[in-house]
Structure 1
């Protein structure tokens, strides 16, 4: 294999972006294991005080998660959701955000996001880590990103995710955020925000398995849980497409009938996590490594799809709203692919 090395005269700011992105990526890939390793390290090598504190902390987060889903109202610590370091990470690709319609802050929203990609990088930057662009385009609407429920009972990982605006995608958690009051006088809205927008990567781990450069394969046909949640809570559904998300990583070839895919599917069924083998670039080469490729990600946020609230969603009505979502996702993709994909004529949206 011929290695393509990065030129020696790469500007310092781009070198810095590559370094920061590589560190962040390694950090994200290893977060669960690192968290477990820290707990083990403190328990095995810490003194009595440290061991006791770790046990108390672990018991606390488990009890707290059962009690209130690890909920963190408001936008959390703003210094941890918009700062120069995260902006360096954003500018590496770069990641941008496009608004096509207003999101009035008098209701809550489910942002139905596609595609998942390997890490969901675009959505996590725009609505999690570096939210300054979101706050300018959608004032008074708090951005939050849903992720696996089990992450919130892992020490250290749990608090990092909460500080970055991530929330559990369990039914109870989503119901908590999506039924929050939109009244400016409500005590929980003292921060000046009156709406919650929770991004859900609808295709999840299954969609991640299909992520390859240039291929927009999304999992939506049989995913109706988010529609039922929207109807139960009266939340509008907002389709969102992150163009370029599938291009920042490749992964080891895993056709649907391959042994690797079967093993990945088995692990996904057991753990809820797809054991992907990502392929990227290195710090000083463009041929191999775990650093994502420097390719733009553009998250296009569509118009809200209104629903009639009902505690017991009717099956026919769920199917009707789901069909609207599918049509809106297709329309959003076709409307913007010419501008945000390299080969629009050959780029197709496949909905599984």
Structure 2
């Protein structure tokens, strides 16, 4: 394989963006794995004092998660969600945010987000790592991103996830956030924000398995839990679509019914996580590596779909709202694909 090396005369700004991307991905990879090894090392090789502190910390993590679902109220410290590193991370692709309708801050929202891609970069950037654009377009609406519940039981990493506004996708955590008061005078809204918008990557791990450049394959037909949650909490559903999300990384070929896919499905069934093998670029070359490719990602935020609140959602009503979400996504794709997708004529939206 011929290696395409990055030129020496790359502008300094682009070098900073590559540095920010590499630093973020390497750091997070090391922390995710290193936290377990470090904890195990403390328990096995640490003295009595260190072992005791480690056990106390692990008990605290478990108890705190059971008690609070590891939710951080408010937007947290701005330095964790709006800083030099994450601005360069955004500009690396770049990641953009497009507003098509108002989100009044007098209600809470479920952001039904598609596609998942490999990393879920669009919503993770706009609603987690660098929320400056979001707050500019949707003032008084707190952005939150829902992820797997077990991530908040990971030592050390859970603190970072909380600081970026990530929350558990568990039923308890979602109900807590989506039933928050919208009254400006309520004590929870002293920060000036009166609404919570929780982004859910509805397609999840299954949709990630189908992520390949140029292929927009959504897992949605049988995913109705988010609609039921919206009805139970009275939250509006906002369809959002991140154009370009599937183009930043490829993965090892895994067509349906292949041995690779069977193995991935097996691991996903056991853990809830898809064991993907991403294929991207390197720090100094464009041919292979673990960094995402520079491809523009545009997250388009659609119009809210209001629902009638009910503690016991009627199946027929759930189907009605679910169909509205599908229709909104199909309409959004047709309306914006020519503007945001290269070779849009050959690109189709497939919804499973």
TM-score, normalised via structure 1 length: 0.98
- Tell me which residue corresponds to 2:256: 256
Give the equivalent residue in structure 2 for 1:26: 26
Equivalent in the alignment of 1:199:
199
Quick check: 1:36 aligned with 2:36? yes
Tell me, what secondary structure is at the counterpart of 2:142? strand
- Residue 30 of structure 1 and its aligned partner are, at CA, apart by 4.8
Shift of 1:24: 1.4
- Once the two structures are overlaid, the 10-residue window that deviates more, 267-276 or 70-79, is 70-79
User: How many Å separate the matches in 1 of 2:335 and 2:142?
Assistant: 27
Deviation at 1:84, TM superposition (A): 1.2
The answer as to whether partners of 1:26 and 1:290 remain within 8 angstroms in 2 is no
Note if 1:178 corresponds to 2:193.
Answer: no
Structure-to-structure mapping, 1:105-124, within 5 angstroms: 105-124=105-124
Aligned counterparts, 1:72-221, within 5 A: 72-221=72-221
Match in the other structure for 2:223: 223
Structure 1 gaps, min length 5: none
* CA-based RMSD: 1.0
**How big is each residue's C-alpha offset from its partner over 1:24-44, in whole Å with a ceiling of 9 and x where there is no partner?**
123344543222122123333
For 1:141 and 1:96, the matched residues in 2 are separated by 18
> How far apart, CA to CA, are the structure 1 residues paired with 2:13 and 2:225?
43
Partner of 2:299: 299
Deviation at 1:95, TM superposition (A): 0.5
2:338: which partner in 1? 338
Partner Cα distance (1:134, 1:44) in 2: 45
Q: Which residue of 1 aligns with 2:239?
A: 239
Task: Output the CA distance in 2 between the equivalents of 1:302 and 1:256.
Answer: 31
8 A contact 1:227–1:321 mirrored in 2 = yes
In the TM superposition, what whole-angstrom CA distance separates every residue of 1:265-290 from its partner, at most 9, and x where no partner exists?
00000000000000000011100000
Number of positions where the alignment pairs a residue of Structure 1 with one of Structure 2: 352
**Given the two structures, how large is their TM-score scaled by the length of structure 2?**
0.98
